[in-house]
Structure 1
């Protein structure tokens, strides 16, 4: 049943005591012996007892409930809008006005990514396409904002633990996403020959994702992010660091430029790097931090994050070729016959490295390099 459809039957709606589901646009209820959950990716419906929320559904919304009990909150005829009308006074969220400060701009982006993290979590638990990638990107965007704009958000010491926890989450998700990409890549040259190999890797990687999302460490991360958002939002302005109080246009471009300079230095050092694969991987990570810094500061930084796309595509192609060679060596040892593909992937990696410096120089990041700085 969709919550937008009214019915002659009464529906008993469930939520946490603080209405966490409704506050995030989700609706859960039971009508005539059938449970349903409305989500951004569509409704879910299943038969069940009225004695309590089925574990299947309660697990799906864990990123929102944080293990708070789901209890009856209303019984009425109608759907989501009727429920919101009944409980509107309890759903109201304190306004978070955008004041144009460095903290205000970045914190608005952080709130968006915290919400994206929970939405992607639900999609992963539902097995939706590309959902692991969405979850991983939300975690990376938060890390990127915390790294680039720490002075506006309370300082590096405060955010250090968040960076570590988000890095852990990304590491737990990485095998599932990487296997998905590599399986699709292999089909161009192996067709079904690698299906059994990648099917096993996918099963193992998905089990790792499930363990991570059901872990106490992940729950702690979600709770800590909520607490951080509230603390940074409600901290009296006169207690903010000077960089946080200043106009975003005076602070964020300078901080983003520092991230761009990091990429620039890594690209310049590539030719003499002792470990080429590691050096390119580090450039790739630094470039992602730059992209997310540009996204978070988009309101005051006149550089389109999409300008980085061609450069990132080149870095991604190199990484895919390196990872593919690792899989190919295993397959070669088991079955043989992959010599030509191994050579082709090596050539792809070499070509990408050769093109990287020129691709970086072609980027239009002029406003970052010429920005007059915070003191103007």
Structure 2
């Protein structure tokens, strides 16, 4: 590729993974620039090779493919690049389809994009990025669990779901520490801040190590392959449920998840206060998240936020007590306040679920 001193040289993978996802990487007169939806990231370096600081940021998109020159333009930006390479990035048309599989796959594609975008934000240290990444992973797991029947069956999804669970576990300490440190502000002192700072540093290292691992790249590749296989499989090979209209299939499958929440709430109501009830409430929380994501994917307009806020407050209060014990605080107003908050949430749970269940009933009756 012949260039002049005025050229902007754009780098990408052979398959234009960056451009396909709304990113552009370029260099002009030794000044590198990565254009992202959140703004440009700039770096100085040799024009012959991409600075590791930038290639590392886009690993969720490039995986381990080499970044090579794909175009040189006399000035211009992403729009001009897209115009120059438009014939290479045209996506195959996907006609509108209201089938159960098509609707769920559209949701899956949105979460795959959200996962990659959050990865970039995590590597840049942006606020709330870890949380966004965990949510995208949980949403994928949730719909794989609720709608396995329209996505080829649980056997097909089992391995990738397990890998998503691993990713969530690696990211969890970073998000949990962030939440608990903020929760400690009203009573924080120098020792507690030092305690949370150490946890935060350890958790950040763990999260970034996971994102740089071979296992993570394998997960991203597996998700791509899964989406492609499910999208390109001939319709006549789909199961009956996958071919039927989404409005007739997905609410009934979501109802199965709601029944699981129902059973777990009943168990909470039957247990006295104590560790067993705490674990039972945690099980409700996990099932309620699966229900929320199943309803989101189905396009159901039912708000579960208040119910989930109740469960989230319970979880935060229980975890806060564990941190207080680590800090040597086993009694007193702060500890007692967290214990009271957890107890209130557990006691309010059955009534909150009863009210929400009435709002959900029209979806499957």
- TMscore range, shorter length: over 0.9
What is the alpha-carbon distance in structure 2 between the residues aligned to residue 128 and residue 22 of structure 1?
22
**Separation in 1 of the partners of 2:137 and 2:256?**
21
Q: Which residue of 2 aligns with 1:314?
A: 310
**1:15 corresponds to:** 12
How far apart, in 1, do the equivalents of 2:343 and 2:81 lie? 59
Aligned-partner Cα distance in 1 for 2:240–2:100: 10
Cα displacement (A) at 1:364: 5.3
1:344 to 334, 337, 352: 337
CA RMSD between the two structures:
1.5
- The offset of 1:98, in angstroms, is 2.7
| Unaligned stretches of 5+ residues in structure 1 | 1-7
- Residue in structure 2 matched with residue 47 of structure 1 by the alignment: 44
Would you say 1:281 and 2:282 are equivalent positions?
A: yes
Q: Determine if the alignment matches structure 1 residue 262 to structure 2 residue 254.
A: no
Q: Distance in 1 between matches of 2:13 and 2:19?
A: 9
Shift of 1:159: 0.7
Using a 3 Å threshold, how does the CA distance of structure 1 residues 185 and 367 change in structure 2: closer, same or farther? closer
* Counterpart for residue 153 of structure 2: 155
1:3 aligned partner: none
TM-score (structure 1 length as normaliser): 0.92
Structure 2 gap ranges (5+): none
Give the aligned partner of residue 5 of structure 1: none
| Alpha-carbon distance between aligned partners in 1 of 2:67 and 2:36, rounded to the nearest angstrom | 16
Q: Output aligned runs, 1:174-253, within 5 Å.
A: 174-253=172-251
* 3-state SS of 1:194 partner: helix
- Aligned twin of 1:133: 131
Residues 269 and 350 in structure 2, CA contact (< 8 A), matched pair in contact too = no
Larger deviation, residues 191-200 vs 205-214: 191-200
Measured in 2, the distance between the counterparts of 1:190 and 1:367 equals: 41
Secondary structure in 2 matching 1:51: coil
TM-score calculated relative to the size of structure 2:
0.95
